[in-house]
Structure 1
Amino acid sequence: MLPVRPWSRMVSTGILSQVYAGTSAWIRPTMLRGRPWTHMSHASMHKAAKSSDQWPHPLYVSDKIRDRKSTFLAHASTLPSPQAFPAFLDHLSSLSALKRATHCMYAYRITHPTLATGENDGGESGSGDRLARLLELSGCENVVVVVSRWYGGVKLGSDRWKCISDVAKDALDKGGFTKKRQECVIATATTTRKKRKRK
């Protein structure tokens, strides 16, 4: 039997891919517990997410962003505890539309009963840390966000960070997780009322 060598980069969900020495055999990485990604249309994914009983919380999906043949998509959901995270990844891995994603990066932030955070770059160096920082700055609590990227063959350079942040913000906003956004809306409404009273 040929020895197995670790591949040089993390792909999909952070599981190291491996190549058999002396052969071109590729072992496709799977998500956490070995479940392969499968494929179907984006519309079907929404239906599957709603009808699945594997994950009890709503799954909020961002609009897709396409930039130079790369596609970015984010999913956000409530995460009650770090122990629930593997179940969330199992649920997400059952969504067939994510099969061909070349990168899946994530971050979660839980504040009750104690602060717990986690992130993974999923092959995009530094992206997990950026997502974790976004959750902190947005005041998100008990939430997980996963950004998937389908690489189109053209390197985006630093533009990819904007795409990753934009889809993550969109999914978090759709779920109502961002406190900063809620506070801005309340502050704007209060200011408008004060101006009306002065007149």
Structure 2
Amino acid sequence: MIILDNVIVDRGSKYAVSGGPCRSAEEARMFLAELKRTKKFAKATHNSWALICGGQMIKNDDGEAGAGMVILRMLEREGLHDHIIVVTRWFGGKHLGGDRFRHVQDAVRTYLKAM
């Protein structure tokens, strides 16, 4: 599991990105459970994620509408299969509007460069 913390800060919201090998929806649930064993991630506002495995595209916005699809498209573009990417956000009190999608993309790019 790779965790990159505080990759983006904007108007009080903070972002982290994490990921690792993952081959099924069940493994994705286990990955998230492991991530949330750290209190900070368990208390996050959103843990949005996506995964391409076994010919399936699986995503979860975790309340950050559209974030899972952004991650999924980036995984597809990179041809990255059997690998989950989770973008975590701690809400800072101010709405980010469309900037939140740019932040999700930037977080995923940061992760892909670190792999």
- TM-score under structure 2 length normalisation: 0.89
Q: Name the Cα RMSD after superposition.
A: 1.5
**Counterpart amino acid of residue 88 in structure 1:** F
Structure 2 distance, partners of 1:157, 1:70, is: 12
The equivalent residue for 1:118 is: 58
The equivalent residue for 2:21 is: 78
Question: 2:76 aligned to 116, 123, 136, which one?
Answer: 136
Could you list the per-position Cα deviations for residues 160-199 of structure 1 after superposition, in whole angstroms to 9, with x for gaps in the alignment?
1111111122123212xxxxxxxxxxxxxxxxxxxxxxxx
The equivalent residue for 2:38 is: 95
Structure 1 distance, partners of 2:45, 2:26, is: 26
Unaligned runs of 5+ in 1: 1-58, 176-199
The equivalent residue for 1:186 is: none
Look at both structures and tell me which one has the larger radius of gyration over its CA atoms. 1
Q: Decide whether the 8 Å contact of 1:63 with 1:167 is kept in 2.
A: no
Higher relative contact order (CA 8 A, sep 6+): 2
Q: Decide whether the 8 Å contact of 1:101 with 1:150 is kept in 2.
A: yes
Larger relative strand fraction: 2
Deviating beyond 4 angstroms after TM superposition, the runs of 4 or more aligned structure 1 residues are none
Deviation of residue 82 (structure 1)?
Answer: 3.4
The equivalent residue for 1:172 is: 112
Unaligned runs of 5+ in 2: none
Could you list the per-position Cα deviations for residues 60-112 of structure 1 after superposition, in whole angstroms to 9, with x for gaps in the alignment?
123521001110111011113333222212211212221331111110112xx
1:38-57 superposed matches below 5 A: none
